[in-house]
A and B are shown apart, each in its own frame.
Chain A
């Protein structure tokens, strides 16, 4: 303890007063909520179909595409990392996009310079590891909002640095690195057919059950730049990390994290090295962020401005929507976040005449709705869809 940041024994009346809403013994089952939300969406869609006709098929198709997009998977991985930070440990990391960007840079630059894939992944991870150590060392002993301010600032520093014209040869400056310069090593691993082979499982199923062409299709190249191969790998990784995190959190280590989230001083008084554990958490979540960044740039390019504060805030929204401190919350949140945005944008575009809201306006409108929903979720349902209200993770 070197600072005044925490004051043990200091009275904190608020802490006592929020002593959990325990009257509600067993929170309503999350599945029930999921079903209710699905029902709501369906009703909304039916109304939309009535009002908008053919547009609704387009919208649903767009939502589906967005839901399984490799970048949604990438964000899901990064959100799993954020869940380690915030959901389980209570760390306010507002620089998760910075971890992603570092991972992406390390990965893409190494690959474009001819390093083998495993080494490139290690370089990206190492960059995130160093970032976590540098950020964590001074701030993890301070009050929580210091970490928030430092992480958000440090992530911006990374982005500004990446954009530097002087680093043109390295990071590609503001234009970033084109995917073609690093993607090869990944696509060449594909065991799916290459070339122009296109798969459309949804259309295939629709044909088999006799629906014919209803307009729903998910057709992508099997390998290609942004095809099934990258989707397969991205979602497999999401599954892998979800399982890994599950194992970690049912362990005594996970219990320790939750204890720290609840009250660091209590844990300290029990002889645990709180700083080390928080640092481990920061590193694990940061590494997941870096991996998310690598997946994120596989089907596209490394764009420093695509991994700025906005992306961090979207990830927070996704996490809180899905439910912090829950195993599947991050994944559900990421999928819903992107799919619902298409729904909002699409329905606004279809239902509201252009004279009132043009295309650019619907785009802005969808973000306004997202911002407002973030506020509403945090106020009225801080545990999100899958979280447990009894272990509401907002410690004061």
Chain B
């Protein structure tokens, strides 16, 4: 990983991230200081039902953004749309999105990935009947041996293959999967497959990684390590956007939270702010308003985060 060798990015510092997010307006679709992804007017209808209707959204570079919302809010559909796996109904009427300055309006899923925006799937798409190593090798980009003309002639790709393999070994080591390298991916546990999928996505050295419910179906022991991996990716300078429906997971690691409900972005902000938002509580809980979304004493290891949030809140009050 180039990021690994390059050391930590400036966004590894909580204060730096706070400084960035503080300047952002809290209205849905607010402008970000340095957006890596900009989305305009994306509408997706299934039959008569509007699954996604996002007017404008920006994702800040270098931080972890969580896309949350109750089940059926259209998060995954939105993910599919911007990664080229689905086509917006509004494709011909003003749907635009661009990644890192590059327009992606009419781009296929594979070109989106090549542009540097790599995703994972809600239901893990580890290739079960291939080995862990083969899974990883498939992630390598611009492989000469994947060209039909060079394929049969191994001297043409042997050297590159070795490089990719070294890189894969490094990533497997990092995700603690190295000893499984020759096992079939189907033999891994659900959490290990999530890790494998993430590692495979990193093989192509993306600028932004998009994780679709990375914590779903992962046992609690592994959840912490997964969260740790996500944070360390951010600390190395990668932009992370992930979908999650469980708010509690989100608040500890995300620098910015975007809330979707019924296909629309209803709120944006830092996790504590969002969780206090009336619209968000309504969307999540319907009539049961009395539950405090932020109240989870079960998770103790986030005092630092709480402190930061408090500080942020205090600063905002100062401004007002």
CA distance A12 to B128 in the complex (A): 14
Binds A, one of B25-33, B139-147, B223-231: B139-147
Of A53-61, A102-110, A112-120, A271-279, the segment with at least 4 beta carbons within 8 Å of chain B is A271-279
Given A15-B123, A247-B152, A267-B138, decide whether A20 and B186 contact each other with a Cβ distance below 8 A: yes
B148-A280 in contact (CB<8A)? yes
Q: Which of A11, A22, A266, A392 contacts B187 (CB 8 A)?
A: A22
Interface assignment of B110: CB less than 8 Å from any CB of chain A:
yes
Interface string of B102-123 (1 = CB under 8 A from A): 0000001111011000111111
Most chain A CB inside 10 Å of its own CB: which residue of B83, B109, B110: B109
Select from chain A the residue with minimum beta-carbon distance to B154. Answer: A251
Asked if residues B113 and A268 are in contact (CB atoms below 8 Å), the reply is: yes
Q: How far is the CA of A256 from the CA of B146 in the complex (A)?
A: 7
Contacts of B153 in A (CB 8 A): 247
Pair A8/B86 contact, Cβ less than 8 Å: yes
A270 lies within 8 A of chain B by Cβ: yes
A9 touches B108 (CB 8 A): no
- Given contact pairs A252-B157, A269-B201, A390-B129, A1 touches B87 in the complex (Cβ within 8 A): yes
B74 to chain A, nearest CB (A): 12
| Contact across chains for B110 and A268 when beta carbons are under 8 A apart | yes
Q: Which residues of B contact A267 (CB under 8 A)?
A: 138
Of the candidates B77, B147, B204, which one forms a contact with A270 in the assembled complex, judged by CB atoms under 8 Å apart?
Answer: B204
**Which A residues are in CB contact (< 8 Å) with B126?**
266
A272 to B83, CA, bound (A): 13
Taking the closest CB of chain B, its distance from the CB of A373, in whole angstroms, is 25
A305 within 8 A of B: no
A1, A12, A252, A391, most chain B CB atoms within 10 A: A252
Does A254 sit within 8 A of B, measured CB to CB?
yes
Cβ contact within 8 Å between A12 and B109: no
Q: Is B99 an interface residue when CB atoms closer than 8 A count as contact?
A: no
Contacting residues of chain A (250-268) with chain B, CB-CB under 8 angstroms: 250-256, 258-259, 262-263, 265-268
Tell me the count of chain A residues lying within 8 A, CB to CB, of chain B. Answer: 42
Would B127 and A263 count as touching, CB distance under 8 A?
yes
Q: In this complex, what residue of B is CB-closest to A11?
A: B123
Give the chain A neighbours of B147 by CB distance below 8 A: 253
B134 touches A255 (CB 8 A): yes
Query: Measured between C-beta atoms, what is the minimum distance from B82 to chain A in Å?
Result: 12
Whether, in the assembled complex, B85 has its beta carbon less than 8 Å from a beta carbon of chain A, the answer is: yes
A269 touches B128 (CB 8 A): no
Q: Is the CB of A271 within 8 A of B157?
A: no
From known contacts A270-B204, A271-B110, A271-B114, infer whether A255 and B137 are also in contact, taking CB-CB under 8 Å. Answer: yes
How many chain B residues touch A (CB < 8 A): the figure is 55
Are B201 and A22 touching (Cβ within 8 A)? Answer: no
What is the minimal beta-carbon distance from B213 to any residue of chain A, in angstroms? 9
B86 CB contact (under 8 Å) in A1, A256, A277: A1
Note all chain B residues with C-beta closer than 8 A to A258.
127, 129-130, 134
- Per a CB cutoff under 8 Å, which of A9, A251, A393 touches B152? A251
The answer to whether the Cβ of A19 comes within 8 Å of any Cβ in the partner chain is yes
- Whether A1 touches B187, Cβ cut-off 8 Å, given contacts A253-B145, A265-B85, A269-B118, is no
Check A253–B204 contact: CB distance below 8 A.
no
Q: Does B125 contact A (CB under 8 A)?
A: yes
Most buried by B among A2, A251, A393: A251
**A390, B184: Cβ atoms closer than 8 Å:** yes
A248-B146 Cα distance, complex, nearest whole Å: 10
Render A136-168 as a binary contact track against B, CB cut-off 8 A, 1 for contact. 000000000000000000000000000000000
- In the complex, A138→B1 CA distance in Å? 39
> Are B121 and A8 touching (Cβ within 8 A)?
yes
Report how far A274 CA is from B138 CA in the complex, Å.
Answer: 12
A11 to B213, CA, bound (A): 13
- Given contacts A1-B108, A22-B187, whether A269 and B137 have CB atoms under 8 Å apart is no
Beyond the given A9-B76, A9-B212, A269-B85, please list 20 additional residue pairs across the A-B interface where CB-CB is below 8 A. A8-B80, A8-B109, A8-B121, A9-B79, A248-B148, A251-B150, A251-B152, A251-B154, A251-B157, A252-B137, A252-B146, A252-B151, A252-B157, A265-B125, A266-B126, A266-B197, A268-B108, A269-B119, A273-B108, A390-B184
A residues in contact (CB < 8 Å) with B: 1-2, 8-9, 11-12, 15-16, 19-20, 22, 244, 247-248, 250-256, 258-259, 262-263, 265-274, 277, 280, 284, 390-393
Minimum-distance CB pairs A-B, first 7: A252-B145, A271-B113, A20-B186, A253-B151, A251-B151, A266-B125, A22-B187
Residues of B within 8 A of A (CB): 76-77, 79-80, 83-87, 108-111, 113-114, 118-123, 125-130, 134, 137-139, 141, 143-148, 150-154, 157, 161, 183-184, 186-187, 197, 200-201, 203-204, 212
Report 9 cross-chain contacts, Cβ distance below 8 Å, ordered by A residue.
Answer: A1-B86, A8-B80, A12-B123, A19-B186, A253-B148, A253-B151, A258-B129, A269-B119, A271-B141
